[in-house]
Amino acid sequence: MRFIINGQSVERALDARTSLLDLLRDHLHLTGTKKGCNQGACGACTVLVEGERINACLALAVQYQERPITTIEGLGEEVALHPLQRAFIEHDGFQCGYCTPGQICSAVGMMAEAGRGVPSAVTADLDGDSVDLTHDELRERMSGNLCRCGAHNGIIEAIQAAMAPAPAQAAPVKEDAR
Amino acid sequence: MNPFDYARAADPAEAVRLAGARPNTKFLGGGTNLVDLMRETIETPDSLVDVTGLSRRIEVLADGGILIGAAARNTAVAADPAVRKRFPMLARAILAGASAQIRNMATVGGNIMQRTRCCYFYDDAARCNKRVPGAGCDAVGGFNRMHAILGASPACVATHPSDLCVALAALDAVVHVEGPTGGRTLRFIDFHRLPGDRPDIETALAADELITAVELPPLSAAARSTYRKVRDRSSYAFALVSVAAALDVAADGTVGTVRLALGGVAHKPWRAAKAEAALHGAPATEASFRAAAEAELMDAVGLPGNAFKIELAKRTIVATLAGLVRGERS
């Protein structure tokens, strides 16, 4: 089976039972994507397929051959953080960090959905073709990602900050905060 | 998870042929329910036929209805401009269900075929007539907050978990299916079964038949329609009670067209025909809505953990219809 992960083509012989999550973690050693509940309830395994967020734990890898998949490793690196990664650090968007890769992949997919005008359960006007990502909209749209440390308020702040127009000079990243 | 063979179908005929070639085959959509059930060994198919490559087209028909390919993703249906304008209750029902990640994976066909979330069905140490016919039911005397108040049987008090299906029941949707001898259509309200003494048989679909599309007939009243879901947390939870409603009020203030269906209350999406009959021609007032709700829930039976849902269902019906009269989009 051939997969396209973070722009790289990889081939693996897999049992049809292998989930996309186990392919990433156990076969490709991309351990940024986390296994939380393994039943679609927590969102820790969120990855992007053709830019859309999904739960890798409920996905059979065999169904995702030849489709561009992006994991947290494909979004940013330690020397070149993704704007959301920087914002999560600056706004205390995590404590233990276990849910963070899923939160960030989910937020990337969420912003793309909103950009395409996809409504949510709290969108008042279904006829509108643009979405105003208010605090309530963000909370609803991120409800598929649980944080058991309770950093949800920081997560929402981080996403709001990452969405804001870039300042003329980027603030320095605080790397010693924790 | 038990081992299985995997094949991908290019069209409905190939899917049906592949499924017919081996016993104990299941069709695979997004996998959000089936993969989970296979991991718990509640479902143990010998082979899977992937049908996500089949039609996902959302097409406005000449009569004003909409035809939705069974492989359409939930997100795509909820975001479709024609669905949002003509059938807002359907968009709202989908958006009230699951999480964004799951809605991106889940297909319309798979949503219709999903199994109950009764915790005793999932627990193979518990007795469950749906899983093992004749074994008994641990939900009746157990944790039954999420269970049925309408149409249940001594054998099974499980509920159908879908939100999307509640809207399809209200909208008189038609299910298009393909089988070894050709295609046929079923009325959506006849698609799912009440449990009776065979809760393991959940639909009118034969094992070798495949859902290919869902058709929404035109309904002008659906332009003013909505879906209201009451649950234990405000997002990403199954319904305690939900209401899909469309309402058309005549110039003299009486109810014209009304469509009403309930979720979270029965083994199947529950079309509230008694309430609709009570409402036809009645003044569009809260008193009429309450009387209609009383008529619908007259035969409801509560269990120790869920009797509160009878009054909750009545109040949610009244609030949803009253909101539509006020022009709210709840």
Which domains occur in chain A, in start order? 2-75 (3.10.20.30), 83-163 (1.10.150.120)
What is d(CA B161, CA B117) in angstroms, rounded to the nearest whole number?
6
Residue A103, chain B, CB below 8 Å: the answer is no
Chain B residues near residue A127 by CB distance under 8 angstroms:
84-85
Residue A166 has pLDDT above 70, yes or no: no
Residue A101's pLDDT band (cuts 50, 70, 90): very high
CATH annotation of B5-51: 3.30.43.10
- State pLDDT tens for residues B306-328: 999 999 999 999 999 999 999 97
Q: What angle do CA A170, A173, A174 make, to 5 degrees?
A: 145
User: Considering only alpha carbons, which residue of chain A is nearest residue B105?
Assistant: A54
Answer yes or no: is pLDDT of A172 > 80. Answer: no
Instruction: Per-residue pLDDT tens, chain B, 330 aa: give them.
Output: 999 999 999 999 999 999 999 999 999 999 999 999 999 999 999 999 999 999 999 999 999 999 999 999 999 999 999 999 999 999 999 999 999 999 999 999 999 999 999 999 999 999 999 999 999 999 999 999 999 999 999 999 999 999 999 999 999 999 999 999 999 999 999 999 999 999 999 999 998 999 999 999 999 999 999 999 999 999 999 999 999 999 999 999 999 999 999 999 999 999 999 999 999 999 999 999 999 999 999 999 999 999 999 999 999 999 999 999 999 764
Burial (CB count <10 Å: 0-12, 13-18, 19+), residue B42: middle
Instruction: Return the H-helix or E-strand segment holding B290.
Output: helix B286-297
A3 pairs with which residues across the strands?
A: A10
Give the domain B222-325 fold: Enolase-like; domain 1 (3.30.390)
Residue A177 has pLDDT above 50, yes or no: no
Cβ of residue B4 closer than 8 Å to a chain A Cβ? yes
What ipTM was assigned to the predicted interfaces of this complex? 0.96
> Which one-letter DSSP state was computed for residue B63?
T
Q: How confident is the model at residue A165 (pLDDT cuts 50, 70, 90)?
A: confident
Where are the domains positioned within chain B? Answer: 5-51, 222-325
Query: Which residue(s) pair with B259 in the sheet?
Result: B246
Dihedral angle computed from the Cα positions of residues A20, A22, A23 and A24, in that order, rounded to the nearest 10 degrees: 90
Q: Region A59-87: what's the mean pLDDT?
A: 97
Contact A121 B235 (CB under 8 A): yes
- For residue A121, the chain B residues in CB contact (below 8 A) are 92, 95-96, 235
- Which of A37, A63, A69, A99 best probes binding to B when mutated, by most B CB atoms within 10 angstroms? A63
Question: Which of B35, B81, B95 lies closest to A58 in CB terms?
Answer: B35
Nearest to B102 among A55, A124, A127 (CB): A55
* B79 near A CB under 8 A: yes
pLDDT in tens, B83-140: 999 999 999 999 999 999 999 999 999 999 999 999 999 999 999 999 999 999 999 9
Q: Give SS3 for A4.
A: strand
